[in-house]
């Protein structure tokens, strides 16, 4: 019942948002976010959450992803109310309805244990998020939306093909074809090995496209750069985490079949490649929102690298997934505030932000140190855990590359962030409207997220620790 409610409730609110007056919708969005947060809390307190004869089930990784994505969504809702109040001339009907449908489909993907249902959820999630990317409108936003849809559609098509390959591997192995995770895992030893390997490669590319791994990342700089900041936060912290979760479920099937080595080696190579591509493009990047997109490419690489290494690095990857989502929320919200104040997202026009918008600039600077793995923030702990496990496993070359690429990204991002926050602020301002009355919504969510990221660098609360260990155990169970 709770599993269905987590999907149906935000859809009901989305339908209501289409018919209620504009002045009511932002309050409806806030209520929907609060209700979803309560439902998620109820679900996480229950030992088993499932439905539809096994098609829906919260597994170890799903519980973790549900916890932080629901919290991130609620804080993004608070920010979105201020953002929409700042644009009263625009209708918020489609934005709010799509935002709620976005949450519903993200939750459905988290719970889905049927590969077909998971694919449908991802496809619908892509369609629901496209109007959100285009909300700022303009030719660049239109180009970014089309690129997001076209490249995402290629990835989704590959994911469907990979799912069919996986089902055919069962047929070739003499097993009754099934797309249920439990069935495929139970019969994994009998799956046709060549078809299973082919399925994993295609699925990894397909869902890796939605995750934003290089070289399938080309939609990210445009979509993140042109979407409203709150949408960028949800894409970077929500959609990518769900796509990563899907890859982990396929890895589980490979591991149950005794073929995890092949999959993990592929993940290590692609993780390092993604970090290298991000390091190359983040250097001398003038558009600070595109810079955040390449940072996301880097951290998707860190996630798959951690899982590819295995052992304690898997726990580090689970923790890093949480840290990345929360920190990206800080960065995208603060970057959007700075862009709003200057009317630009280029370092050619934006400088001296610490004088113009000191709180948002301070958040951007702190978020930069956090996301690049500086102590005492959470990403330092998760990246150190991955590095320590890599060295302990004897992967010295991988560890050296990991450290080198982290340093390259730190230097590249640092040059852009310092250019934004330091210097003399231009006297003229392009911000025609006062943010009085909505300033709390613009700042408070990012401050709370930063506080959580700082907390996770020095202390992991027991409920979260249990979720992290449960998620890591579900990935490593067949190792």
Structure tokens that stand for 260 in this block: 């995890």
pLDDT digits (tens, 9 = 90+) for 13-35: 999 999 998 888 889 999 999 99
**Whole-model pTM?**
0.94
State the average pLDDT for the chain.
Answer: 91
pLDDT at 392 over 90: yes
Q: What angle do CA 45, 211, 169 make, to 5 degrees?
A: 85
Domain boundaries, the chain: 2-428+436-476
Q: At 109, list the tokens.
A: 């993907």
Task: Give whole-number Cα distances, 393 to 161, 256, 316, 390, in Å.
Answer: 35, 22, 14, 5
Beta bridge partner(s), residue 114: 180
Please state the separation of Cα 148 from the chain's center in Å: 15
Distance, in Å, from the CA atom of 441 to the CA atom of 413, rounded to the nearest integer, reads 27
**CA–CA separation, 395 and 353 (whole Å):** 42
Q: At what angle do helices 312-342 and 240-256 cross, to 10 degrees?
A: 160
Quote the pLDDT of residue 478.
57
Compute the average pLDDT of residues 131-142.
90
Instruction: Report residue 114: phi and psi, to 5°.
Output: -100, 125
Listed residue (146, 406, 458) closest to 275, CA to CA:
406
Kindly indicate the confidence band of residue 79, based on its pLDDT and cuts at 50, 70 and 90: very high
Which candidate, 464, 321, 312, 455, places its Cα nearest to that of 376? 455
**H helix runs in 343-377, sequence order:** 353-356, 358-371
311: left (phi over 0), alpha (psi -120 to 50) or beta: left
pLDDT, tens digit, 9 for 90 and up, residues 233-287: 999 999 999 999 999 999 999 999 888 889 999 999 999 999 999 999 998 888 9
Residue 80 φ/ψ, nearest 5 degrees: -60, -35
Pick the closest to residue 110 from 157, 72, 148, 158 (CA basis).
72
Residue with tokens 């959450």: 49
CA dihedral 469→470→475→478, nearest 10 degrees, is: 100
Q: Residue 325 corresponds to which tokens in the numbers above?
A: 């989502």
How far, in Å, are 29, 323, 445 from residue 451 at the CA level?
A: 24, 11, 10
pLDDT at 95: 93
Q: From start to end of 24-167, where are the E strands?
A: 50-51, 56-57
**What is the token pair recorded at 188?**
């994994």
Does the structure show a pLDDT above 50 at 45? Answer: yes
Residue whose entry in the numeric block shows the structure tokens 């996630």:
303
272-319: pLDDT as tens digits:
999 999 999 998 888 999 999 999 999 999 999 999 999 999 999 999
Grade residue 437 by pLDDT with cuts at 50, 70 and 90: very low
* DSSP conformation class of 179: -
Query: With helix as H, strand as E and coil as C, how does 44-63 read?
Result: HHCCCCEECCCCEECCHHHH
What percentage of residues in the chain have a pLDDT greater than 90?
Answer: 75
CA distances from 410 to 290, 298, 345 (A): 15, 11, 20
**Residue 435 has what pLDDT?**
46
What's the pLDDT band for 50 if we cut at 50, 70, 90?
confident
Residue 57 β-bridge partners: 50
Residue 321: DSSP 8-state: H
Each residue's pLDDT tens digit, 89-131: 778 899 999 999 999 999 999 999 999 999 999 999 999 999 9
- Contact predicate 38/442, CB 8 Å: no
Q: Is residue 51 over pLDDT 70?
A: yes
- Cβ-count burial of 258 within 10 angstroms (0-12 exposed, 13-18 middle, 19+ buried)? exposed
- pLDDT tens-digit readout, 156-197: 999 999 999 998 898 888 888 788 988 899 888 899 999 999
According to the model, what pLDDT value does residue 431 have? 45
Predicted confidence at residue 479, as pLDDT, reads: 57
What's the gap between Cα 240 and its chain centre? 3
- Residues 24 and 221: their CA atoms lie apart, in Å, by 34
pLDDT at 103: 96
Q: Hey, what are 385's tokens?
A: 């855990």
Mean pLDDT score, 410-414 = 94
Q: Is the pLDDT of residue 328 over 80?
A: yes
Tokens of 209: 């496209």
Q: What are phi and psi of 350, to 5 degrees?
A: -105, 120
Judged by average pLDDT, the poorest of 26-30, 131-135, 136-140, 325-329 is 136-140
Indicate the pLDDT class of residue 397, thresholds 50, 70 and 90. very high
Tell me which H or E stretch contains 416: helix 396-421
């Amino acid at each position: 019942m709770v599993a269905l409610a987590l999907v149906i409730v935000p859809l009901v609110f989305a339908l209501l948002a289409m018919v209620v007056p504009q002045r009511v919708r932002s309050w409806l969005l806030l209520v929907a976010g609060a209700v979803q947060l309560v439902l998620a809390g109820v679900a996480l307190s229950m030992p088993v959450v499932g439905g539809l004869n096994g098609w829906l089930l919260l597994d170890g990784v799903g519980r973790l992803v549900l916890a932080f994505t629901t919290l991130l969504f609620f804080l993004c809702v608070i920010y979105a109310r201020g953002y929409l109040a700042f644009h009263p001339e625009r209708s918020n009907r489609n934005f709010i309805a799509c935002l709620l449908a976005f949450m519903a489909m993200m939750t459905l993907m988290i719970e889905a244990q049927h590969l077909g249902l998971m694919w449908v959820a991802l496809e619908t999630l892509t369609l629901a998020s496209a109007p959100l990317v285009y909300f700022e409108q303009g030719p660049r936003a239109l180009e970014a939306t089309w690129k997001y849809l076209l490249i995402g559609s290629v990835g989704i098509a590959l994911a469907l093909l990979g799912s069919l390959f996986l089902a055919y591997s069962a047929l070739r192995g003499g097993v009754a074809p099934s797309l249920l995770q439990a069935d495929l895992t139970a019969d994994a030893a009998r799956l046709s090995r060549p078809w299973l390997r082919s399925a994993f490669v295609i699925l990894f590319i397909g869902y890796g496209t939605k995750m934003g791994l290089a070289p399938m990342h080309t939609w990210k700089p445009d979509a993140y750069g042109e979407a409203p900041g709150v949408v960028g936060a949800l894409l970077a912290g929500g959609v990518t985490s769900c796509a990563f979760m899907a890859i982990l479920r396929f890895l589980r099937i490979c591991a149950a079949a005794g073929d995890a080595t092949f999959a993990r080696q592929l993940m290590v190579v692609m993780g390092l490649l993604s970090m290298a591509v991000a390091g190359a493009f983040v250097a001398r990047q003038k558009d600070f929102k595109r810079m955040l997109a390449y940072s996301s490419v880097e951290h998707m690489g860190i996630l798959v690298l951690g899982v590819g290494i295995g052992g304690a690095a898997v726990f580090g990857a689970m923790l890093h997934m949480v840290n990345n989502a929360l920190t990206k929320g800080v960065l995208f919200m603060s970057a959007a505030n700075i862009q709003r104040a200057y009317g630009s997202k280029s370092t050619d026009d934006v400088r001296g932000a610490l004088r113009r918008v000191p709180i948002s600039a301070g958040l951007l600077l702190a978020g930069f140190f956090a996301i690049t793995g500086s102590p005492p923030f959470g990403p330092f702990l998760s990246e150190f855990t991955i590095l320590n496990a890599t060295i302990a496993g004897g992967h010295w070359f991988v560890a050296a590359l990991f450290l080198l690429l982290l340093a390259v990204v730190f230097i590249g991002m640092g040059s852009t962030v310092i250019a934004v926050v330091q210097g003399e602020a231009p006297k003229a301002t392009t911000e025609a409207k006062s943010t009085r009355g909505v300033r709390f919504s613009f700042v408070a969510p990012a401050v709370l997220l930063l506080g959580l990221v700082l907390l996770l660098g020095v202390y992991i609360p027991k409920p979260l620790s249990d979720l992290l260990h449960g998620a890591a155990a579900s990935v490593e169970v067949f190792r």
